[in-house]
Amino acid sequence: MVANGTAPRPSAATHTLSQRYLSTRGDDVDFSFEDAVLKGLASDGGLYIPEEIPAAEGWESWKDLSFTELAFKVMSLYISPSEIPAEDLKDIIAKSYSTFRSPETTPLVHLKDNLWLLELFHGPTFAFKDVALQFLGNLFEYFLVRRNEGKTGTDRHHLTVVGATSGDTGSAAIYGLRGKKDVSVFILHPKGRVSPIQEAQMTTVLDANVHNIAVRGTFDDCQDIVKALFADPEINSTHKLGAVNSINFARILAQVVYYFHSYFALAKTNPSFSIGDKVRFAVPTGNFGDVLAGYFAHRMGLPVEKFVVATNENDILDRFFKTGRYEKKAPTTAVEDAGVKETLSPAMDILVSSNFERLLWFLAYEFAESAGMDDEWNKKQAGQEVKQWLGDLKTKGGFGPVYQDMITSARRNFESERVTDAQTVDTIKAYYNELGYVLDPHTAVGVAASDRSIKKADAAVPHISLSTAHPAKFAGAVELALKDEEGFNFEEKVLPAEFVGLDKRERRVKEVECTWEAVREFVRAKVSEELGA
Ligand SMILES: *Cc1c(COP(=O)(O)O)cnc(C)c1O
């Protein structure tokens, strides 16, 4: 029996393959995958990236693998077996995707001509964030249980996850973490300001480690409260706070898998497409996590002609790919209109994209390489540049244009499209009328961008458009688009059986004042209740 938690763990040195992680801002280097996952954000404020994007050697031979087998192949290249032995990683993956309703996990459906839709919404909360958060939840539990082997009481490493949500992230995080050992999860939402379905999804989860907090305030207030908690020395001295927002590298990693999976699915159903041919992916984008995962897949070897970054009217990324400048507000925007705009695709309503920092690092690294110095210098240089830019973003509201070579390099892989609310509604209508398919508003932004890309691109290049949510999650926008269409009935055409009666189930939610101290007291009380139990 192992008495004190020093369970034998092989050291990295005993294995040849060892993937390490560094921060995009250059000060923090040489982290394990476990550290990168449990910390989330590096202490210099940067995001973790692997030291090398691994090549997927022989990836063509993966074509007949199931989703979970493919996930193992991809993830093994990022997680050293010295950190998670192969059999354990396989178990974590199997558990994570056993909750999906589709046998293919992320099925590819043919819409028309050379347009396919990658349905990412067959997980427990009906949105693509499940692909990453089901995995992250099991990963947290795995690491904590291992750290706690043989420990009891207050010696145990207990993680207190705190997050704010305007809807999608919160429900996916709750379903990812419900019932997990040694983790408590607190999700703050603005009272009365999330969609009824999302509120019901979150608050009907009754597991003892799940705590919904309805804040009497706005989403921004919720975010400010979370930031204040992470900055509070008092709670940090007694609790280990964890984050589940999209900066966590494990979330990116899980999303790499479906780019490979959909590519192979396309080859299987489309006789004129062979392994090795190029595709285009159109990705509805907010924090740039989803499309960044695609970029990783491409750098690993997947033949992608272009990623079409589709934004709504919060278009900082579209402006970057067109001008090379990354600025919170467009030069033409009046000061009073400079905040986040509320659109029909709320999960993409952002002012800046947190994961874009990772792409910037890779672009800066590539640029540094052209100076012909050694690799260590190139990495340092990239970190310095990123730190400078992000500093300017904070103090001056933006930076750029970046070096012309960087813009050229970005455009080799990315194109962008900005889609308005009116165009989103038109797209939902058009696809319903032509094909009888109901798109959710986020997916519609991507499909509108695909339509434009198809007109511009080589006619032979197939397009895979990512579908990020089930339309029933965004009933308001879908009803707005389709209420006057002949024969349309939301209950019949859209509502999945799982949502029926959800609004009548028992709920647990704590309403609190809009102050971070009130939230802190609640967190403390609940965690000690859980630990005492
Ligand atoms: C989070 C989310 C997005 C945006 O994904 P990013 O990784 O932040 O770019 C798009 N659609 C839906 C439905 C989402 O929940």
Ordered by start, the domain boundaries in the chain are 251-481
For residues 325-339, give the mean pLDDT.
86
Query: Which CATH number is associated with domain 251-481?
Result: 3.40.50.1100
CB atoms under 10 Å from CB of 288, counted, come to: 25
Average pLDDT over residues 97-108: 98
Average pLDDT over residues 33-53: 91
39, 129, 379, 387: which is the annotated catalytic residue?
129
- Find residue 41's DSSP bridge partners: 47
Whether the pLDDT of residue 146 is over 90: the answer is yes
pLDDT class of 533 with cuts at 50, 70, 90: low
Phi, psi of 210 (to 5 degrees): -110, 125
Examine the pLDDT at 84 and tell me if it is beyond 90.
yes
153 or 287: which carries more pLDDT confidence? 287
Report yes or no: 106 and 261 within 8 Å, Cβ to Cβ: yes
Span of 56-60, 66-70, 132-136, 372-376 with lowest mean pLDDT: 372-376
420 alpha carbon to ligand 1 midpoint, in Å?
Answer: 16
Residue 447 has pLDDT above 50, yes or no: yes
| Greater pLDDT, 130 or 236 | 130
| Res. 336: pLDDT tops 90 | no
Sequence-distant (≥ 6) Cβ neighbours of residue 175 within 8 angstroms: 99, 123, 124, 125, 130, 133, 134, 137, 201, 205
Quick one: average pLDDT of 508-524?
Answer: 96
Confidence of residue 2 (pLDDT cuts 50, 70, 90): very low
- Predicted confidence (pLDDT) per residue in 378-406, tens digit: 999 999 999 999 999 999 999 999 999 99
Output the CA 157–ligand 1 centroid distance in Å: 31
CA distance 275 to 288: 27
Token pair recorded at residue 148: 């706690």
Give the pairing of strands 115-119 and 463-467. parallel
Distance CA 137, CA 153 (A): 22
The band of 499, judged by pLDDT with boundaries at 50, 70 and 90, is very high
Please say if the pLDDT value at position 5 is more than 50.
no
327 close to 316: Cβ distance less than 8 angstroms? yes
For residue 129, indicate whether it is catalytic: yes
Mean of the per-residue pLDDT values of the chain: 93
State pLDDT tens for residues 188-233: 999 988 888 899 999 999 999 999 999 999 888 898 899 899 889 9
What is d(CA 327, CA 333) in angstroms, rounded to the nearest whole number? 11
Residue from 1, 41, 30 nearest 357 by CA: 41
- Residue 414 — pLDDT band, cuts 50, 70, 90? very high
| pLDDT-derived band at 17, boundaries 50, 70, 90 | low
Q: How confident is the model at residue 277 (pLDDT cuts 50, 70, 90)?
A: very high
- How many Å lie between the centroid of ligand 1 and the Cα of residue 91? 27
Q: Nearest C-alpha to atom 14 of ligand 1 is from which residue?
A: 347
- Ligand 1 binding pocket mutation candidate from 117, 256, 259, 468 (most atoms within 8 A of CB): 468
For residue 452, report the phi and psi dihedrals to the nearest 5 degrees.
-70, -40
Instruction: For the chain, give the longest Cα–Cα distance.
Output: 69
Helix (H), strand (E) at residue 110:
strand 108-112
Residue 170 and residue 176: Cα distance in Å, rounded? 10
What pLDDT does residue 268 have?
96
> What's the CA-to-centroid distance between 128 and ligand 1, angstroms?
7
Q: Which residues line the pocket of ligand 1, CB cutoff 6 A?
A: 127-129, 168, 246, 284-290, 347-348, 442, 468-469
What is the DSSP code (8-state) at residue 277? B
Q: What local confidence, expressed as pLDDT, does residue 16 receive?
A: 45
Residue count of the chain: 533
For residues 20 and 51, is the Cβ–Cβ distance under 8 A? Answer: yes
**Cα 151 to Cα 523: distance, rounded to the nearest angstrom:** 23
Instruction: Give the residue-averaged pLDDT of 21-49.
Output: 91
- Report how far residue 395's alpha carbon sits from residue 405's, in angstroms, rounded to the nearest whole number: 25
* Structure confidence at residue 28 (pLDDT): 83
Q: Does position 184 have pLDDT exceeding 80, yes or no? A: yes
Tokens coding 400? 């750029």
Q: Sign of the C-alpha dihedral, residues 146, 150, 152, 155?
A: negative
Q: Report how far residue 68's alpha carbon sits from residue 366's, in angstroms, rounded to the nearest whole number.
A: 32
Predicted pLDDT of residue 142: 97
Helix %, strand %, coil % for the chain, to 5?
Answer: 50, 15, 35
